[in-house]
Structure 1
Amino acid sequence: MCQIIHSHWQSMALLISAFHKYSGKEGDKLTLSKGELKDLLNAELGDIMGKNTDQAKVDKIFKDLDANSDGSVDFQEYVTLVACLTMMCNDFFIKK
């Protein structure tokens, strides 16, 4: 049980550190710009989502995440992406 809890904490720490690794490269250090989100998607999630070289696809993902339409993705909005990916992975493993 302790191993499972430790593993979950490590996973959460990786998700948090991925956000902060890319946030603030352009402007506010607590949000992701469209360019920062694209870099994060490609570098950290490219194996899951595929490389996002199609700007229209990146624009759609950004718009869907930017719930308050302020032109940036904050950590709470980023968690929406994490939740969606978790649900997709769960569905994938259930079907196998």
Structure 2
Amino acid sequence: MDSAVKTVVTTFLGSSRGGESLNNQSFQKLIQKNLSSIMEDTDSQSAIKEMQQGLDNNSDGKVSFQEYLKLIGYLANSLSQKKCEGNADSS
């Protein structure tokens, strides 16, 4: 579990180049490079832009670490639900 948390943090910091937030290009690269295997439409710039806008609570045009964590939480919850549904189907 600790390695998963470290990965979440180091992925953000690497993508933001140690900064406090991801700009449009950094966010797009992070999504395409690191999340394409568990997300749909990662090859669509408009879908990624829409996702970024949905995460950007303060409307500053960037994704902060806290805003990024909302995405990670959503993805973790979605994967968990799929696993639970898969286990229920195989019972």
With the shorter chain as reference, the TM-score category is 0.7 to 0.9
Q: TM-score, normalised by structure 1?
A: 0.83
1-structure distance, mates of 2:42, 2:25? 11
* Equivalent residue for 2:4, pick from 11, 27, 30: 11
**Over residues 24-79 of structure 1, what are the superposed CA-to-partner deviations in whole Å (9 max), with x where a residue is unaligned?**
3xxx8211011111100111111111462212101110001101101101100000
Identity %: 24
1-structure distance, mates of 2:4, 2:40? 20
CA RMSD in angstroms comes to 1.4
Structure 1 counterpart of 2:9, which letter? I
- Tell me the residue number matched to 1:22: 15
**3-state SS of the aligned residue for 1:11?**
helix
2-structure distance, mates of 1:91, 1:80? 16
Q: Does 1:71 align with 2:85?
A: no
1-structure distance, mates of 2:33, 2:48? 14
Q: TM-score, normalised by structure 2?
A: 0.88
Structure 2 counterpart of 1:80, which letter? K
More helix by share: 1
How many residues were matched structurally?
86
Identify unmatched segments of 5+ residues in structure 1.
1-7
Identify unmatched segments of 5+ residues in structure 2.
87-91
Runs of 4+ in 1 over 4 A off after TM superposition: none
